[in-house]
Amino acid sequence: MRVLIAMMKHETNTFSPIVTDFARFAAWGCHFGADARAAYAGTGMPMGAYLKLAEARGAEIVTPVAAEAMPSGPVTADAYERLSAPILDAVSKGVDAALLDLHGAMVAEVTPDGEGTLLQRMRGIAPHLPIAVTCDLHCNLTAAMVENCTALIGYKTYPHTDMYEVGERIGRVLFDTLDGKVRPVMAWGNIPLLSQTLMQGTDDEPMKGLIAMARAQEAEGALASTVFGGFALADMPDAGNSAIVVADGDLAKAEAWRDSLLARAWDSREAFIYRHRPLGEAVAAAKDLGAQVDGPVILLDHADNCGSGATQDVMTVIAEVIEQGLEDVAVAAVWDPEAVQQMRAAGVGATVTVTLGGRTDMPAIGMAGRPLEVTGRVRTLTDGEWVVHGPMYTGVKVMMGPTAVLDTGKVQIVVVSNHHEPWDQGVFTSVGIQPQHKKYLLLKSRIHYRAGFGGLSEHHLTLDGDGVTTSDNSLLTYEHVRRPVYPLDRLNRPD
């Protein structure tokens, strides 16, 4: 048996000004051939699970590419073709099955449905090729994705700590199909709901209850049951909440399970929308809270979260924290390669004044970059490389690029050269900061921070700053999403 195993992932924020070219994939991790297999074997990723399953069967394994880029703007035509071409070439040479680790919210210059187009092209070469797919919980599911694969599943956790588990589950479904043990049929659908990523944490309602329903369906016999929160920052026709159920030969049962998931999601639509609070008021509340508790207070600069496509150099929240005089704060992270080079030139221990952040304009929200002048001591300089040991992306090497820590006396700011969302404590420990001993941890994150930092504190506050991962729909102009859709439009019925 010859099995194709590949990864091609990107969560596209169409409002982001950051160009997603091939170099951006290379900066995060882009591997071909044997290097792709070596990079993900033994990791907690879906591709790690696929490799283990195929090896156990003694299959000949083909790994044409394993590529992922941090979320950003639409993928360039060049990057899309350079990543998909090796997969298509492998299919054309002949394989017996394909196991794909995709995202589900890739928008490229050549297609608004990066995953669906890839799968269509694969099936165009090999119409009957068995294909299993894992997708992110933030997948914007499309007909092209479903119609051109054998079985599809999504993560059930946000933060995504079950990537290996879901890869293993859908991989077993595919191999059982090849062995004639099961006959997968899929029922899927979506609803006109653009739920906000900030409200999709699976430890919270409404996603908690929806995930429990999906798990119950699997316990009742579904081969795989998935409810997707979708990714509302991808302005494409199918953006929004969806569900898919894979059953063993019983399409009617799959449809009933799907309908129950979608009905509950629609009934919960108001709970999927974030309610805002003035920034100054929220920071003042954080200051009061810090005076009352011992452990870290976690502050979330969620509108500038590069893990959803933000520029990671907006200084609005940091400026307010400094202005209100919060002390013993660690910040992760500000993207500013120029500031890093300035601090490297000065050297560890030097006192410098840098114009920090604000390097990027954001036309989609009508905002120009606004840097902040900060004076402090260069505390640490590193190459920014470390390996994740926490529960999300376990075993994967992180490359933040040249990295520095600027210490103002009250605030320690981790400054990076490559975008990276702080979902693991390594973002601090790799530069000599012990996060558990800080009064405040200011993280440019939404929900993924919980993987590495959730256990450090019971006190988590969202701070509504600026950025292209805003949860304020009034700041975004949608041109391509289906209409009507909630909450852009008031709807009482999903149809």
pLDDT at 421 over 80: yes
Q: What is the pLDDT of residue 494?
A: 79
Q: What is the pLDDT of residue 375?
A: 98
Nearest CA to 39 among 28, 27, 51, 31?
31
Q: What percent of the chain has pLDDT over 70?
A: 100
**Is the bond leading into 487 cis (omega within 30 degrees of zero)?**
yes
When pLDDT is averaged across residues 1-14 and rounded to a whole number, the result is 98
When pLDDT is averaged across residues 332-350 and rounded to a whole number, the result is 98
Two tokens at 242?
């969806």
Phi, psi angle pair for 413, to nearest 5°: -110, 120
Domain ranges of the chain: 2-272, 279-470
The CA radius of gyration of the chain, in Å to the nearest whole number, is 22
| Mean pLDDT across the chain | 97
Nearest CA to 61 among 70, 74, 69, 52?
52
Can you tell me the distance from the alpha carbon of 76 to that of 101, in angstroms, rounded to the nearest whole number?
20
Give this prediction's pTM: 0.96
Cα end-to-end span (Å), the chain: 45
When pLDDT is averaged across residues 372-382 and rounded to a whole number, the result is 98
pLDDT at 473 over 90: no
Alpha-carbon distances of 265 from 70, 259, 410, 485, rounded to whole Å:
28, 10, 44, 14
- Distant-in-sequence contacts of 318-321, Cβ < 8 A, 24+ apart: 318/357, 318/372, 318/411, 318/413, 318/442, 319/372, 320/279, 320/280, 320/283, 320/463, 320/465, 321/283, 321/286, 321/411, 321/440, 321/442
When pLDDT is averaged across residues 60-73 and rounded to a whole number, the result is 98
- Identify whether the C-beta of residue 461 lies closer than 8 Å to the C-beta of residue 167: no
- Identify whether the C-beta of residue 100 lies closer than 8 Å to the C-beta of residue 131: yes
pLDDT at 493 over 80: no
pLDDT at 140 over 80: yes
Two tokens at 368?
């120009």
pLDDT at 495 over 80: no
- Identify whether the C-beta of residue 108 lies closer than 8 Å to the C-beta of residue 29: no
Nearest CA to 137 among 116, 99, 179, 166?
166
pLDDT at 103 over 80: yes
When pLDDT is averaged across residues 324-335 and rounded to a whole number, the result is 98
pLDDT digits 0-9 by tens, 224-248 = 999 999 999 999 999 999 999 999 9
CB atoms near residue 229 (< 10 Å): 29
Q: What is the pLDDT of residue 362?
A: 98
Which of the four pLDDT bands, split at 50, 70 and 90, describes residue 177? very high
CATH number for the region 2-272 comes to 3.40.50.2300
pLDDT digits 0-9 by tens, 381-402 = 999 999 999 999 999 999 999 9
- Identify whether the C-beta of residue 349 lies closer than 8 Å to the C-beta of residue 377: yes
pLDDT at 213 over 90: yes
Q: What is the pLDDT of residue 413?
A: 98
pLDDT digits 0-9 by tens, 15-44 = 999 999 999 999 988 999 999 999 999 999
When pLDDT is averaged across residues 428-443 and rounded to a whole number, the result is 98
